[in-house]
Structure 1
């Protein structure tokens, strides 16, 4: 018996839309300036310096739209970006009310059709299963982006976070059961219904389910902290060398599943192990989830988080050959990880293309 379809007013895939892979050329990168020292447990100043370095680096290669919550955020962003010698002509400061900065998750997911027209999808956001209140302003962020761009917005009445999905250019989507099947997100949906939703909204053709993510990850195991595509046929997979570490078994299981994965023609993927940082990081007695897999791919570059760890340079050496034609750049993320994420978590790519408009905006 076929799975019932989730209740949707519009199905973008039926109109020829799909979510392109991250390495598709970008019109811009969207991100949000950190604010509220309480959110960063006293680390805000250091976080802002690392963030300025990230924005300055991305802006060397493509336009950046930097969301700023209020006057203080805007003034501090300008000052920090000037210190970082950022190319300000490439950066647009965009006023937007926000509860937090993780725009991969609270921002829109962009889709594109065969004509090269770009629209956006607006999923519900509930702060990773209701863990951090309030989240009302974050939930409104995609609608505000659509209004700013004059772009068609497909509203989806279900919870989804961008960091929970990893797509290649052939419609293969990697995700984790621990996140997408969490009862705090869409308890009314079965696994089959979630797969149908991803096909109807993002044009996904195959969903690959891995069991879980890193210890200490408050997102319940986002895929973008452990497993990433670097091209249609290559997957990097986080690995833990210490057999006594709780991450060892989970990462080994993920790797074994990926090495057994086959495409539609029965061909295996190239699976490349990517070491996790050696040093265990904690904040107030709770383990943090530092990872090199949380890199961000842009126009001619890849930015990779660095933690002052013995494995930092080795991770760059693994990734550089996988991105020919792109500059692979390591940037500090030791302060940023205190919030639970890194460069991929705070960015969202807007693909190149004409803006798709219809009557729904």
Structure 2
């Protein structure tokens, strides 16, 4: 049976998210926890204006989730520890022979490489739970992978990062060829474009070791949007150049040369812990909308909305405060997962 992963721009049946639960990621004080709850809820409410949203909540958080989200978001109950649905949940795919038939790739999740700080055993089961709740076929995989580690154009081209799927803490015996074969089986990949690394902050103790969804994404076939750190005082200035260099001269699975669009980073360079990894690339495309990160930088936020509006014509660009999400290790794309509609692949 052949599967293919639709582009994020394809029509969605709904968006899946996971509600925060208490632990190191959410925060140690009441104020920190409230900030985290509200950040996740704000993203869910923004998306719910454009398509259905289902929020998976731990039994300890179901009441809070329903109070904060109201009637506009469906809340279902399942054990949750890590609440980055892009990574802990499944990746939805379509059957190539019967586009009405949707599947969900259930990757192995091991806490981004079995990090000591990660609490992941409960959420490692969410791939199966979401597939069953969505009423779609579960596509089992033995690859340790996260949804934030891949992007697709929906036509067989996959972006990935050498430091994620080939990470020996994730897949100690992996090679490019083995990963590409598994992507072909589960995602319909015909070409994988390997990027050399992710952003600098992503290699800190609490990082993902280089997720691609913070550095580059397809906005349409043969068009890639790339994080552009323009300030040479930030270490990601060199990383941006390296990512762009890796993409230049590349073609997609159809043989079309890639067109590269730059998405400038916000102006802030550091926080209390080092160079920030704030990136507008980590947005979410919903039905008729783009849910964009806002970093409290009026000039840069407005510029990002303009770039995203041009990259996704016909979609409304909605900015949502993303700093509390990035403070906890990710962005808007990291906490969302699209379930495509059955039907035409366009």
Give yes or no for TM over 0.5. yes
Match of 2:95 in 1: 113
Match of 2:328 in 1: 339
Match of 1:128 in 2: 112
- In the TM superposition, residue 100 of structure 1 has moved relative to its aligned partner by 1.1
Match of 2:157 in 1: 172
TM norm structure 2 = 0.91
> Of the candidates 227, 232, 253, which is equivalent to residue 221 of structure 2?
232
Q: Secondary structure at the match of 2:247?
A: helix
> Of the candidates 304, 307, 316, which is equivalent to residue 318 of structure 1?
307
Structure 1 unaligned spans of 5+? 1-14, 83-87, 355-361
Distance 1:258 1:186 in 2: 25
* Residue 307, structure 1, aligned to residue 295, structure 2: yes
Distance 2:293 2:242 in 1: 24
Mark the structure with the bigger radius of gyration: 1
Q: Secondary structure at the match of 2:10?
A: coil
- In the TM superposition, residue 267 of structure 1 has moved relative to its aligned partner by 3.4
Distance 2:270 2:76 in 1: 33
CA 45–135 in structure 1, closer or farther in 2 if over 3 Å, else same: same
- In the TM superposition, residue 231 of structure 1 has moved relative to its aligned partner by 0.7
Report matched runs for 1:66-145 at 5 Å.
Answer: 66-71=55-60, 73-82=61-70, 88=71, 90-114=72-96, 115-116=98-99, 117-131=101-115, 132-145=117-130
CA contact (8 A) 1:105 1:345 kept: yes
Q: Secondary structure at the match of 1:260?
A: coil
Match of 1:357 in 2: none
CA contact (8 A) 1:288 1:338 kept: no
TM norm structure 1 = 0.88
Report matched runs for 1:194-209 at 5 Å.
Answer: 194-209=179-194
Q: Secondary structure at the match of 2:55?
A: strand
- In the TM superposition, residue 264 of structure 1 has moved relative to its aligned partner by 5.0
* Residue 27, structure 1, aligned to residue 13, structure 2: yes
CA contact (8 A) 2:108 2:124 kept: yes
Q: Secondary structure at the match of 1:175?
A: strand
- In the TM superposition, residue 259 of structure 1 has moved relative to its aligned partner by 2.4
Structure 2 unaligned spans of 5+? none
- In the TM superposition, residue 200 of structure 1 has moved relative to its aligned partner by 1.2
